[in-house]
Amino acid sequence: MSHFKFYSALLQFIVNFHTFNFFIELIVIIPFITFLAILSTVANDSIEQQKVKRIIDYLLTVIFFIFLVHFLIKLFRDFSNFANLQTLQDFFIPIILTIFYLPFLWVFLLYMKYEEIFVRLQFFGEDKKLIPITKFSLVLNFRAHEELIDEWFHHIKIHKIANYKQLFDSFTIIKHRNVKRKNLVDIPIPLGSGWNVYQAENFLSAYELQVKYSDIGDEIWFGSKLIKLDEVFNSSTLTYYIQGTEDIVKKLKIKLFIYDLNLMNKHLSIFIEVINYLLKKSLNVSLSQDQVNNIYSLENFVDILHDKQIEFRYEKFDHSATPACEFVFSIKNPS
């Protein structure tokens, strides 16, 4: 994404410096590029729209290089008009102003984050006398680390803070987890035990299904991410789940929920594609043709692959005005 920001800044400078034909700028350049940029920005997390977004981003890159080549040709033909102090100012002043603006924006956003947490503390703190020292300790321990601030607040929602010892222990726990998670990134986990947390969170990142693994109490950790597959009010959804302990993910699950049964075959092909991708990442295998046929035939099955149990389950819901159905595929240790 950063390279597109660079392209945008350079393209803006080129367009501002070099004047094109009025009708080309008004009718072609500005509306067309603006339209493409809006489409790229508003594309949601659905698989189909992400494919369209990649095409649009590629098209914008091509347009940028066309402008760049045109600009370089003009530059070599009339270099004296370009190489002057005014051009240098036009290029660097917006960059300098942006650089000086960013620290103020960062401080403001950090302030808003703390303000949000401080307000919500009023509803989650069991002992109101702890709130002042909690605010001070929160800033002292986590400073500008917004992810740690969010993780700490999630922790106290699950594990209530009733005294000073629990409060100070909560900061220690979050900092210890942060260090441990960094060390776990490249540590291999025996397949018989499960999967590396960092790797499991990102098994389906190619489908915009990155998961945030969190403590949900009773020593159980869980994470999920949902994407929509349709552009309708009751959109079909695809959800990726992971579950286990703090250090090891022990269960992977994909759930497809379909509201419009007419779209079943279309979404089942996506479902099977994602399952095969997850199997490749987690077990380095794929579904057999018989298993694929079972899914299309809506036949439940349980099999063993590499000492892991894989299970497919289909369920139809007829109780609503519009029938719906659910498909679940999971990978875990045998029961």
Residue 17 has a pLDDT of: 60
pLDDT of 7 strictly over 90: no
Residue 13 has a pLDDT of: 60
Residue 167 has a pLDDT of: 93
Query: If residue 40 lies in a helix (H) or strand (E), which one and from where to where?
Result: helix 30-42
Q: Whole-angstrom Cα distance, residue 295 to residue 272?
A: 8
User: pLDDT tens digits, residue range 276-300?
Assistant: 999 999 999 999 999 999 999 999 9
So where are the chain's domains?
Answer: 1-83, 98-184, 195-332
Answering whether pTM is above 0.95, one says: no
User: pLDDT tens digits, residue range 79-116?
Assistant: 676 667 776 777 778 778 888 888 999 999 999 999 99
User: pLDDT tens digits, residue range 43-77?
Assistant: 765 666 777 888 888 888 888 788 778 777 877 77
Compute CA 220 distance to the chain's CA centroid, rounded to the nearest angstrom: 23
Q: Whole-angstrom Cα distance, residue 168 to residue 246?
A: 20
The alpha carbons of the chain give a radius of gyration, in whole angstroms, of 26
